[in-house]
Structure 1
């Protein structure tokens, strides 16, 4: 494949039957296959600001791996991703009776800062193993945005294990945070869980700011507190382990002021990041996506208050779908020559068998 910045119709004039989408995050991998390009489908470009059509409907339930993709000296490991992805993709294709893929979209956590190996190795590997000629590599924030809002201006707060805010005016992307659980992701699941465990350790030590209720629950989940560092630090999935404690913080926020303060701080961090990326003009849409928001009112109410102060011009809308839906939309639009999102080497990188100027021309056959 030739790295490019666009999209185009199949060079042989045939409409591919299926596309493949991948959602790779701190909690593992999800892979889905969907049909596209059925006779009678309206594949005309989406007008700026117009409601976007729904993403393709997956063929059956997605396949899931609970093992997060490892990182190595060159960032996210292409080999480890392929080890998990290829068997799942082949299984989905066999079950669907699909012989070829119109396009693949991979949404990966950390792509913007840790994606060099994926950009260098995935295009050739997927072409060799699956015959893929159209590939989009997207930061998981981009797939979260696309799943939530489609190709429309606005901003999205995506909070799961990590947290990132992303916005676009459809000319370029803006992002805030998403720097990983050691340097940022402020307000995400790992951040909330880590803050809860810190409060538990403060209570264990007898320091101010501790929470006896969080201490009791932490000991139930992880054992004696002096053993927690040895249990946690060597793990490669420690972000997911930290995030597993976040629901415990939310469960106690109604009766524990320390837990409530943690969620208020998380809401403030999220709103600050959203304000940094949201378009300043017009009435941009703002959506929330990610498992952290399943915590309910204990987090959503302080977040609503923070957003009202920092983004009074933005219109809150429900997310239309999740990051896997976003990857499905990107894959289908790439296969059909109608990808309208801004392209960016680190945020949304496209590799195809056609050069940029040809695939970006809507009249190209």
Structure 2
């Protein structure tokens, strides 16, 4: 029989990713699917996406060849509170051909493992949501924030996107100057809304009707301030109201998709974007400070806002360098790889697995100290 392999899954609110690897860290397959957070999607839809990512990673490899599998899941407590969940999961693993035990842990656990082989340290995540966690023996011992988009997640991609939409509304109705960020947000959301209405056959005119010229910001480019207003027919409060309707017509967490526009506008010196980046970084650092990172222990940064090395990452990393200069900083670039490494650790033992951590996660390229 062929040597055993391992599988790791990182399941979040927006995306699920699976990695199939050899026990020494060579990737054999990957799989992607929609979000698997049961708090957001419900248990049935969440499990379906988890299994879809798993099957895609396995490909033609029989499930019985998998010697160990670890699943990191956002909303794990919600799923496990469902009395039907254990049976549903067991059936899902069996349907995929797995014969090994499949522990389901917090996505925080696999993110931390993706950034360091150390058992203790602190994790700060800013993706769609945001949370900080003090880690002990690779398990979260204490949290800061992570309360969801409505009441918390300050500094997250959603939080940044919501601030961007608010800035665009304020510019549209004249309370703030119309500049790069507001233009890009208006174009992105109003052009998107007009496309949806065109597909549905709704002839209601919008600020970016299909017959109007397409604004450059709709493609992600940020035009010079002098071109602001081209392609739009609504003005003032009417335009702001149209933007509100466009936002409320989307799933709530879709606002996180505006975060890249903030980063692009920041590079152009847009005042609103500069303020949003600074406030996001401050909120994240304050969340981290609540947990008081210990000298010498790693601080791992995860989530798309930070892993992308965005302006928010730069500000957060600089603050960590100033406030906790003895703490090495690692990037959790791939939570699924961290989960796969944890699975390999179950097969190989702690010492052998530690030597292969960098192969699984690329962490030897991610650690750095910032000042």
| Superposed pair shares fold, TM > 0.5 | yes
Check 1:189–1:322 CA distance in 2 against 1; reply closer, same or farther (3 A cut).
same
Cα deviation, residue 268, structure 1: 0.8
Q: Residue 284 and residue 249 in structure 1: after superposition, are their counterparts in 2 closer, same or farther (change >3 A)?
A: same
**2:220 counterpart residue number:** none
The residue correspondences of 1:240-319 to structure 2 (distance < 5 A) are 241-254=254-267, 255-280=269-294, 282-293=295-306, 296=309, 298-308=311-321, 311-312=323-324, 314-319=326-331
1:18 equivalent in alignment to 2:30 = no
Q: Does residue 97 of structure 2 align to residue 128 of structure 1?
A: no
Q: 1:59 and 1:222 mapped to 2: Cα distance?
A: 39
Q: Give yes or no for contact 1:193–1:242 (8 Å, CA) kept in 2.
A: yes
1:190 positional shift: 1.1
Show CA shifts across 1:157-198 (max 9, x none). Answer: 122222111222328622211222222111111111111111
1:263-321 C-alpha deviation (Å, 9 max, x unpaired): 111111111111222444x4211122222135646323432443345x42541333364
Name the one with the larger helix percent.
2
Judge conservation of contact 1:146–1:327 (CA < 8 Å) in 2: yes
Q: What residue in structure 1 maps to residue 164 of structure 2?
A: 196
Q: Is the contact made by 2:19 and 2:337 (CA closer than 8 Å) also made in structure 1? A: no
> Which blocks of at least 5 consecutive residues in structure 2 are unaligned?
191-206, 208-239, 352-371
Is 1:226 paired with 2:241? yes
Give the TM-score of the pair, scaled to structure 1: 0.71
Contact 2:2 2:65 in 1 (8 A): no
Pick one of 34, 40, 43 that aligns with 2:21. Answer: 34
2:54 alignment counterpart: 89
Is contact 1:290–1:322 with CA below 8 Å preserved after alignment? no
Please identify, of 82-91 and 177-186, the stretch whose mean Cα deviation from structure 2 is larger: 82-91
Count, aligned residues: 300
TM-score of the pair, normalised by structure 2: 0.70
> What's the secondary structure of 2:28's corresponding residue?
coil
Structure 1 unaligned regions, length at least 5:
1-13, 39-55, 340-365
For 1:320-339, what per-residue CA distance to the aligned partner results, in whole angstroms no more than 9, with x for missing partners? 64211111112222345659
Which residue pairs with 2:106 in the alignment? 139
8 A Cα contact 1:177 1:273, kept in partner = yes
What is the root-mean-square deviation of aligned Cα atoms in Å? 3.1
Structure 1 runs, 4 residues or longer, greater than 6 Å off: none
Q: Taking CA–CA contacts closer than 8 Å with sequence separation of 6 or more, which of the two structures ends up with the larger relative contact order?
A: 1
Within 5 A, what are the aligned runs for 1:207-226?
A: 207=175, 212-223=179-190, 224=207, 225-226=240-241
